[in-house]
Amino acid sequence: MVLGPAVSPVVPCIYWDWNATTPPHPDVLAAMLRAAEEGWANSSSQHRLGRAARALIEGVREQVGELLRLHSRDVLFCGSGTEANNLALRGASALVVSRLDHPSIVRVAEELESGGLPVAWVPVPESGQLDPAEVERRIPVLAGGAQALVALTLANHETGVVQDVVGIAEAVQRLGARLHVDAAQALGKLAAIPWELFDSCTLVAHKIRGPQGVAALAWRGRAPAPVLLGGSQERGLRPGTLSAPLVAGFGAALSRIDPGRYLALRPLRDGVEQALVPYGAVNGTTAARLPHVSNLSFTGWTGERLVAALDVRGICVSTGSACRVGTAEPSAAVTAMLGLERARSAVRVSLGEDATAAQVERAISIWIPLLTARSSSASSAT
């Protein structure tokens, strides 16, 4: 048998794409290995091995319930944040959303709107932070006790801008609507999240150094409508066999979250911006932002080309949402905030727990010559 050429080892790089996914922490991997050895059985089985797997899952369910200050029975495990958001939105009588939201909210809203569901779109200011008064103006008061659902991405996945969730929650409560919050990017990064104000929320394991393939949807009061039909797992709301190792990894990741780790990254993030802003512009600086995220636009570049140029030089960044893989679409958030031209030249930097001053210095020493070489080339051509 003739084998193909050996695969080259991965070249070490500066990984600044933590908003896309985070490397699983060693504690998470250890917890998953233990669960794979002890909880590999079907958690729906009634025998002792099934009960062992179920005990692992239920322990993490209680952990999530405690974090969110709600009954663990109202915590549902699913395969992704996208699935969780779909579950949360599908049964709505009317929706209020914005173009800043994650694609798993925006695209569901677009589909439901095309099918006749009332959907109100909140205008997006240049800051990227929604005005609670504008949200309130678009919340319909429905007849017959039906409630509109306001869907909100707490911390934007592309710019890091944090929404005024308290102000929006107050508006939602005044008009008797419900509030769904996608907290995937905010979990573990913000020091104080008012979980008790949310009627439902989405948490995602791989954004906090947990495994890919597991997320949670939690709610207060009315349960979501199922998207899939099948068995009775997860109260029939999400049929299918749960993976105890994935859920155990989620629990291990939750056990180690510490917003202080990300707060400590702010000086490094600011250092990146200060070094690069003479060559471009930072998007979303007039509102509160996650401390490890920067979205920058560079005239003369497309985000896609700059990401590729940095990649071959050992720096991993992105143009925005990793959910747009295989496309050349510019950042939806920056487009909504500042227009298409600004978005086309935008890249996202999202630092991680392993970031250091030396790493920043090295990255800047690579990035600035790339930008200046391009500027010099453009000047010579004219």
End-to-end CA distance of the chain: 57
Question: 200-204 and 178-182 as β-strands: parallel, antiparallel, unpaired?
Answer: parallel
Nearest alpha-carbon partner for 299 in 328, 276, 315, 321: 276
Q: Residue with structure tokens 């933590």?
A: 18
| CB proximity list for 378: less than 8 A, separation 6 or greater | 300
Q: Is 78 a catalytic residue?
A: no
Of the listed 13, 201, 316, 323, which one is catalytic?
A: 323
d(Cα 375, Cα 382) in Å, to the nearest integer?
A: 11
Strands (E), 6-61: 14-15
Quick count: other Cβ atoms within 10 Å of Cβ 225?
12
Burial per residue of 239-274, b for 16 or more beta-carbon CB atoms within 10 angstroms, e otherwise: eeebbbbbbbbbbbbbeebebeebeebeebbeebbe
Tell me if 149 sits within 8 A of 95, measured CB to CB.
Answer: yes
Pairing of strands 215-219, 200-204: antiparallel
In whole angstroms, give the CA distance from residue 259 to residue 41: 35
Residues designated as active site = 323
